[in-house]
Amino acid sequence: MTGIITYSPAYTLVPTYECFNRCSYCNFRTDPGQSPWMTLESAAKILKGLQKQGVCEILILSGEVHPRSPHRNAWFERIYQLCQLALELGFLPHTNAGPLSFAEMERLKTVNVSMGLMLEQLTPELLQTVHRHAPSKIPQLRLQQLEWAGKLQIPFTTGLLLGIGETETDWWDTLEAIATLQRRWGHIQEVILQPHSPGSQQSFDAPAFNPHQMPAVISKARKILPLDITIQIPPNLVLDPQWLLACIEAGARDLGGISPKDEVNPDYPHLSAPQLIKILEPAGWQLVPRLPIYSQYDRWLTSQLQTSVRQWRRIRKG
């Protein structure tokens, strides 16, 4: 075998699709008040149906409620309760719900084994274009989130969105910022390199990011980022098997959460693990499931979370 490629057997719960941002490339959001919030009862029904399906990670992925909205506290409590429920039913939660306050992150740390937030791109130029109506996409606000995650010792995933109007220099600047934070705190597990892929709900009129550019971007990202950060790519957005393999040859080593539906890119169904194995194994790569927390970070967890993680590690070895 040439090496190991990892993925997370996952399922995504969406507390709400409503979001006060209006990013022009988004295929996820609805207007505030237009998306009923997920109830704990409906979530419990879904999760109980997954208990014998091999799913480990429950990704809590939510649209954003404005920090000053009267609904913010209720929204945050729903996210917290969904994480608690996932833990009680034997899963490992990972939350990505946009920028959070320090206190919100500190509380969610007790019910999540890892968390995440995409930086997308740090250039302020996008605030005049695709992020014109997206107050939480202010670069320094999102960088602060990564800094707080480091201070709180939260295992973290971040990433870049490629092809939304940025320049190549912006890619390297964003990656350098991530590298700097990693050298300071050592908390970033993965960096996702996500190519823009046009969807049916977006207003952004731009072509897909050229997949033929991906291997070169990955290769340079691998040189910029510390080696303890894994580079992740979404295989459903790199549709040609040969280019997927080229991305792996360039340094990508993780394929992210594989679940029934990509909520962020609903027009692009995930490939199943057996489909991915058919692509990878003939080229000498072994596909291996992983947990949403890398083992070197287990010591950062509460004792309760460490117990849950140990149970999953035993299952993986067994």
Burial class (CB in 10 A: 0-12, 13-18, 19+), 94: buried
Alpha helix ranges (H) inside the chain: 40-50, 72-88, 102-108, 139-151, 168-185, 214-224, 241-250, 273-280, 303-317
DSSP letters, 236-247, are GGS-SHHHHHHH
Angle between helices 40-50 and 72-88 (to 10 degrees): 30
Residue ranges making up the domain that contains 18:
3-317
- pLDDT at residue 289 above 80? yes
- Domains held by the chain: number: 1
Contact by Cβ (8 Å): 217, 171? yes
Strands 114-116 and 156-162: parallel
CA distance 101 to 256: 26
- Res 315: pLDDT: 86
- Res 260: pLDDT: 87
Burial class (CB in 10 A: 0-12, 13-18, 19+), 164: buried
CA distance 196 to 176: 21
- Res 121: pLDDT: 97
CA 233, 221, 158, 299: dihedral to nearest 10 degrees? Answer: 100
At 24-43, the pLDDT tens digits run 999 999 998 888 999 999 99
Distances (CA, A) of 193 to 162, 219, 239: 7, 11, 15
Strands 57-61 and 285-289: unpaired
- Res 318: pLDDT: 52
- pLDDT at residue 2 above 80? no
Radius of gyration of the chain (CA): 18
Residue with tokens 């109506």: 133
pLDDT-derived band at 5, boundaries 50, 70, 90: very high
Strand partners, 157: 116, 190
At 49-89, the pLDDT tens digits run 999 999 999 999 999 999 999 999 999 999 999 999 999 99
CA distance 19 to 25: 14
The CATH number linked to 188 is 3.20.20.70
As a whole number, the mean pLDDT across the chain is 96
